[in-house]
Amino acid sequence: MIYIHYFDPELTTWQQRQVTQLTNELRLSAPLWLDLSEASSDEEQQVMQMLAIAPTIAEDFTRQRHPPKFEAQADFSLLILRGYADADFTEFTRSAQVNLLFSRDILISKVLCHEPQLAVLLKPQLSTGINNTVLEWVKQLTLTVSGSYLGKLLSFEDELSELEDHMLRNGDDELMASMMRYRSVLRKVNRNLAYQKDIFADAMYEVQHPLSGHFTNTDLRDFYEKFERLHSMTDMYYDQLSDLVHGYMSTTSHQINERMKVLTMVSTIFIPLTFLAGVYGMNFHNMPELSFANGYFITLVIMLFIGLGSLAWFKFKNWW
């Protein structure tokens, strides 16, 4: 069952009525809040038809997964935001989807969030103060969405510093895998923040944008700057992780090259020795050297000088 939350000035408390009791008289008790987070599809359609919501906006509002966007019709505006609901950036399960359909006197919200504490914050604060308006609710929810990223990004800054120190001291494949997971999560977060930043950037710079009719330019600039800062932070952290990944790959490649250099030098020394051993291992009867009494020892001495000479040449070239 869907309930309408409204403030009763006589009782000075917030009251509830069933959505079927939404009348013009009740709409005079603005602001009103309808929470469709637990509503069925039929109930959602009932509300959309009752308030004459345009089909395209109604379809976007009722979707469980939709990228952040803003759209307006004559009476209602649709604002879809995405908050960050995971504990940290080690993995990304799904975003907190916040769908807001609002007019001057009615707010309809649909919040899909798997994190209980954030889900509580993504509800309008029903108070008796003078700022208890639909636009203040939308402003509060927008700031809550931006705040869901900020605290975790600030905590990740310290974690990233420790990760960088570990990589410089003793990098390994496990840390490399952690950095790749972080990069993947930050890329998804960055995409969500870019959408939301662009929503408020358009509202600031477009002439007669619908959002500018709801919020002051100061509020829009505040929203934009918050999401722009978050977007810049994710860009910076992603670049730092990329530098660490490239640094680890470069170090690993250098270590491999050093090992290959040693193997190459060993191969270079033993190739002529193997050639000599191959020549004198052919067992032809007419080989002149077979008649030398000290041929075996002479060949060993030659092979020894070849090996030592190769090592001396490598040392002279500073190859080891």
The model's pTM: 0.78
pLDDT on residue 126: 80
Strand order in the sheet with 96-102: 13-18, 3-8, 32-35, 106-112, 96-102, 77-83, 69-72
Q: How far apart (Å, rounded) are the C-alpha atoms in residues 309 and 317?
A: 12
pLDDT on residue 149: 94
pLDDT on residue 22: 64
pLDDT on residue 128: 65
pLDDT per position in the chain (320 positions), as tens? 677 887 776 666 777 777 766 665 555 566 888 888 888 888 888 888 888 888 899 999 988 888 999 998 888 899 999 999 998 888 888 889 999 999 888 899 999 999 999 999 998 888 765 567 889 999 999 999 999 999 999 989 888 888 888 877 777 878 888 888 999 999 999 999 999 999 999 988 887 888 888 888 899 999 999 999 999 999 999 999 888 888 877 777 877 888 888 888 888 888 888 888 888 888 777 778 777 778 888 888 888 888 888 888 888 877 76
pLDDT on residue 131: 63
DSSP 13-39: EEEEEEGGG--HHHHTT--EEEE-TT-
Are the C-beta atoms of 16 and 5 separated by less than 8 Å?
A: yes
Identify the CA nearest to 62 among candidates 77, 82, 42.
42
DSSP three-state, residue 11: coil
Long-range contacts of 21-28 (CB under 8 A, 24+ apart): 22/50, 27/105, 27/106
